[in-house]
């Protein structure tokens, strides 16, 4: 399962991508609009800033704003930032690789093979899920609903 941090981060990013066209958005505004505990959200936005996705402005008229193109911000990166590896086993991750102690031969492990395929499919899908893509999807879904 995703952590709340990762989920809140995604929700906040979508919010910023949608409402950030007229300058910085207040933390308090995002917190209220998206029902996220404000203090918790502060830490999350700070992480996203350190990661280079967002920037902020202090004082009156301040707030957070996107500094990347919504088409260049994807859910795979967000998930990795907050929850670490996407794969379900350490032996099929790229950055967090760890050998299974009990595995005799990694190259012929049938379990590993399955989870490697799962990982690859998931990463591909999450990389495609950019902010731009998510917003587009929402518009399509509302269109169908009507």
Partner DNA sequence: GTGTACTCTATCAAGAAAGTAGACTATCTT
Partner DNA sequence: AAGATAGTCTACTTTCTTGATAGAGTACAC
Residues that bind a second copy in the complex, under the rule CB under 8 A: 1-2, 7-8, 10-11, 14, 34-36, 75, 85, 87-90, 100-102, 107-111, 113-115, 117-118, 121-122, 125-126, 129, 133-138, 141-142, 145
DSSP symbols for 12-25 = HHHHHHHHGGGS-B
Say how many C-beta atoms besides its own lie within 10 A of residue 103's C-beta. 14
Can you tell me which of 10, 16, 63, 93 binds DNA, judged by CB under 7 A? 63
97 binds, among DNA, a second copy, none (CB under 5 to 8 A by kind): none
Q: DSSP label at 129?
A: -
Residue 67 touches DNA, criterion: CB under 7 A: no
- Say whether 88 sits in a helix, a strand or coil: coil
Cα 57 from Cα 96, distance rounded (Å): 34
65 binds, among DNA, a second copy, none (CB under 5 to 8 A by kind): none
At 47, list the tokens.
């992480």
Residue 125 touches DNA, criterion: CB under 7 A: no
Min CB(13)–a second copy separation in Å: 10
Cα 100 from Cα 105, distance rounded (Å): 9
């Amino acid at each position: 399962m995703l952590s709340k941090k990762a989920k809140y981060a995604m929700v906040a990013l979508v919010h910023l991508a949608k409402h950030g066209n007229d300058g910085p958005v207040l933390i308090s505004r995002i917190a209220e609009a998206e029902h996220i505990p404000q203090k918790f959200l502060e830490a999350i936005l700070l992480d996203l800033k350190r990661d280079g996705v967002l920037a902020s402005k202090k004082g009156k008229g301040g707030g957070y704003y996107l500094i990347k193109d919504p088409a260049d911000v994807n859910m795979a990166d967000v998930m990795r930032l907050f929850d670490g590896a996407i794969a379900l086993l350490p032996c099929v991750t790229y950055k967090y690789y760890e050998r299974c102690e009990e595995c005799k031969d990694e190259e012929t492990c049938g379990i590993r093979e399955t989870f490697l395929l799962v990982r690859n499919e998931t990463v591909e899908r999450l990389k495609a899920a950019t902010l731009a893509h998510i917003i587009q999807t929402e518009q399509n879904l509302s269109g169908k609903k009507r």
